[in-house]
A and B are shown apart, each in its own frame.
Chain A
Amino acid sequence: MGQVQRKMTMRWIRERNAELETFQSNHDFMTKEDFLGFMAQVEHDSPQLIASLAEELMAMGEPLEIESLQAFARQRVGLSFDADMLLTAACAWKLGRVPQLETWLKIRKIARNSWQIEHWLSEAMSAHAQTDADARSAFVNLAKQLFKALESGDLKSESKHKNEAREGAWSYWQGTKYQLEELWWGLRGSDFMNYEEEMRIFGLLSEIALEEFQQLIASSANPFLVSSALLSAGMGAFSPRFAQWEACIRAAPLAFAPDGSWRGSILLPLLLVHARDELHEPGRRVPIYGADEAEVAALTAQVNELVQAVVDVLATREDASAIFARWSTWLMRQQVLRQREKSFSDIRSHGYVDNTLLEAIGRSMQGRPLSLNTPEDAAPWEAWCYRCALSAFAHDGFIAPPSFEEFASQWQLTPESWHELGGRGLLERAELHIPRDDMPGLSANLLVFPLASKDSFASGWRQLWDGAYYLREVLEFGFLNAGAKDYSDRVDASRLLLLLGCMGLACFDQAAARLEASRKLLTEEMISLHKGLSQAAMEVLHLDDTLNRDKWQTFLQHLALRRVYWDGSYITEHPVALFDGQHEPTIRDYLSYFQADPDDLVAFLYACMLNGSDSFALREELRGASINLRACVDILKRLHELREHRYPIDYRAIKAIEPLMDCSKP
């Protein structure tokens, strides 16, 4: 009962705040209630006035200028009634009697010249429909006619610009290969106002005949028209209503087949886009810094509740599993593209809503039939984003981890397949997941999760790396048949290899997170994995002279930092040590490599200090490696003085590593 009650009262956050907003509260806007009172008054004082005025309006020739219409209305009634309200009521009355395209075209011309009629007409029609059943039926028929005429292109806008925009949007839509993706993007570039002349009539239809409204939009293939209709019916930027959204979700036709393929129905994806937008909306309203923490906490709790309500409504549908599969793929795409955010874990974080939706979807996926692969109509990027979503669900304990073998097999390329389906497909799928500044990054963590959760992850990663030997061939020699233009092949190979490296690094971090609980089982694996990763990095750094080389240097810094962090001699904060001093590569090995470039050496030591390394142990290590840190820093300073731009210096780093220099004095 409680849950039923909760759902009945569920409202979007903007809906809850609607009374605080001044929209429609100005005196220029007349509501349905205003018209009910007005029409009753006119009927009482001057029966037939509205009807006769309507007939005369329709008989008037052009131009239909509002000033002359207002004067005409005043002549008929004197000053006893508001002329604009009277004209609006007359238009509504006429549409109720003659619900035809011709009538509408004439009234649309009148409305185009009058802000009042344009904005009040649907309110007047709503009032008229409430008191006259025939008018109600007429309005339903009229709305259907208008919708069909717009859909077929027979009903044009009064604005040439809008007609062109409609045609352009439709033409773009028809030429789009992955239309579902275009819907997920929220029909970028289109303007719902392209249908503003008729859209209020669709809002009226949703109010007086919701089922017929639902049937009408469900049958349409024009996403721009449906989007405008939804907007006018409380599913968009204006006056959003959760109840209306829920009713439409329940009535929307099946959008996906059991294998996840999209059936082409545009309604459900549009409704999901609307829901996500509403969930994001509160996060846009609070300032990121200096926000009222109590307000943020309250809004975050409301968003959590709404997320669960959205997922609960979707879960009732026959195609729920497939909806969750395709939508979570899109939500995951948003997550993997975001840079790491550490500052907030509430609605101020850009990824909060999508992450909460993914968690709720994962919970709801438990026990449902699960498609392991993406369907044929999916865009290339979807395969790995779906894999990431499944890994996220598995990480949260909702499902079993997906298989890793099929994923690993995609990396086994040959000279023949590099420029064919195998190689090009791998590049397309990997594009969104190539590591950027954030290493190893969310993508690498999710892609490798099925492997990382196994016992023998070190040998698993090694097999993956060895199996991708041809990528190293391409990196070193270029593609066999590329001739002189092999550079881009080599960059591509380096980027893909970096993703493999980051997956290994992520595997290490995931194992480290459970090291305390399973030390015996994990220690040897992690040491072996670390060794394999450092060998891989050194191998690539010997080969790679592409733009990607800097990223491999950063990757090596990450490995070295972990070597220090998990060494028993350096860190006293965590109870479990992984490495002892002799494990290869040793810290001295890393120091020897970095000292070739004083800038790299300083950056590494700075990272160690920032992450809490023991300065005494590091000093001893520098002494053991015969590194005169002060001399290195002096070289760096001298170079910086000579060519500031070429040799930048980070004085924060110099200051932080000052304690390591004492022992290095000659």
Chain B
Amino acid sequence: MNKFDSGLNLPTRPSRTPLKTEILWGCERGGSHHFPRDIGEIQTRRHSTDPKPLDAFRIAVMNAMDRVWVMDEYFLMPDGGTNPDKRILTILDWLHTDLIACDIRILTKKHDEIDKDMLELFQIREKEINAYQTRRPKQCSILVNTCLRDKFNYIHDRFAIVDDELWHFGATVGGFHASVNAASRGWSAVDSGAIAFFELAWDKCKER
């Protein structure tokens, strides 16, 4: 339909790794491919003061090559609103100084419990990454936008995109939630429209 089409095309680049869909449940072993098997397992998780996140997601983020995009109002905020600094420190561990991905964006909502100094930790980590890897072809950028509720209050579920893979979470991104919840992975972020959707939400939340 483009009347100016030159007819010359570059081939599309393949995705980094073949995507494989799977579903994972949060549990104190760092994730399971099965629902909790008994009430004891459910209760152990429920009463944990620090529910263990999904190892699979942690590993995916730590090994990300291009991007880590998170869209979740409660990503930085633990259940019950206590110890947000601990949650943030856990996430910062994932964004280690050897991280290769350069495009880290967290789209979340504002919480009174999370002050400016806590958010500033992400900027400090960004500087550490760039200082530690001085020969990076692209500087690492970590952006946290807390306007999701105010500027784009249309999202119910929670999503994350790691490189070209879309993750879908029934509760907090990363599997931090204490109640029974699951996440699925292995969806194409391009084909599903997740990348375009995230950019739409991000742009809306950027508007003044």
A residues apposed to B, CB below 8 Å:
340-342, 345, 349, 351-352, 355, 392, 395, 431, 439, 442, 445-446, 487, 491, 506, 509-510, 512-513, 545-547, 549-550, 554, 557-558, 561-562, 565, 603, 606-607, 610-611, 644-646, 648-650, 652-653
Contacts and interface: CB of A to CB of B under 8 A. Distances in A.
B103 A547 contact: yes
Nearest to A350: B1
Contact of A606 (B3, B11, B103, B137): B11
29 contacts: A340-B2, A340-B5, A342-B5, A345-B1, A392-B3, A431-B203, A446-B4, A491-B141, A509-B4, A509-B6, A513-B6, A545-B138, A545-B139, A546-B138, A546-B141, A547-B103, A547-B141, A557-B10, A562-B8, A607-B10, A610-B11, A644-B16, A644-B17, A645-B16, A645-B63, A648-B15, A649-B14, A652-B11, A653-B11
Nearest to A606: B11
Interface of chain B: mostly helix, strand, loop or mixed:
loop
A603 B13 CA distance: 8
Contacts of B139: 487, 545-546
Contacts of A513: 4, 6
Top-4 shortest CB links A-B: A445-B4, A509-B6, A650-B14, A648-B16
B137 A549 contact: yes
A607 B10 CA distance: 5
A506 B1 contact: no
A352 B11 CA distance: 25
B6 A512 contact: yes
A283 B100 CA distance: 44
Contact of B8 (A550, A558, A650): A558
Given A351-B1, A355-B1, A547-B103, A648 B138 contact: no
Interface residues of B, number: 26
Given A506-B4, A547-B102, A648-B15, A554 B138 contact: no
A554 B10 contact: yes
Contact of B100 (A446, A510, A562, A646): A646
Contacts of A345: 1
Contacts of B203: 431
Interface in B93-107: 100, 102-103
B9 A395 contact: no
Nearest to A549: B138
Contacts of A550: 138
B14 A487 contact: no
Interface of chain A: mostly helix, strand, loop or mixed:
helix
A610 B137 CA distance: 28
Nearest to A344: B1
A349 B57 CA distance: 38
Interface string B19-41: 00000000000000000000000
Given A547-B102, A644-B17, A487 B11 contact: no
Given A395-B3, A513-B4, 13 more contacts: A340-B1, A355-B1, A392-B3, A439-B10, A510-B4, A546-B138, A547-B138, A558-B10, A603-B11, A603-B13, A607-B9, A648-B17, A650-B14
A296 to B, nearest CB: 15
Contacts of A603: 10-11, 13
A546 B137 CA distance: 8
Contacts of A349: 1
Contacts of A610: 9, 11
Contacts of B63: 645
Nearest to A607: B10
B136 interface: yes
A646 B63 CA distance: 8
B65 interface: yes
Nearest to B127: A484
A562 B139 CA distance: 30
A345 B14 CA distance: 27
Contact of A561 (B3, B5, B10, B103): B10
Contacts of B136: 545
A648 B18 CA distance: 10
A342 B4 CA distance: 12
Given A487-B139, A545-B137, A547-B102, A352 B10 contact: no
Nearest to A611: B8
Q: Chain A CB within 10 Å — which of B9, B15, B141, B203 has the most? A: B9
Contacts of A557: 10
A160 to B, nearest CB: 22
A652 B2 CA distance: 27
Contacts of A649: 14
Contacts of B11: 603, 606-607, 610, 650, 652-653
Interface in B130-150: 136-139, 141
A645 B163 CA distance: 10
A491 B103 CA distance: 12
A253 B41 CA distance: 69
B2 A646 contact: no
Nearest to B141: A487
A48 to B, nearest CB: 57
B142 to A, nearest CB: 10
A545 B141 CA distance: 11
Contacts of A351: 1
Given A545-B139, A547-B141, A611 B1 contact: no
A512 B6 CA distance: 8
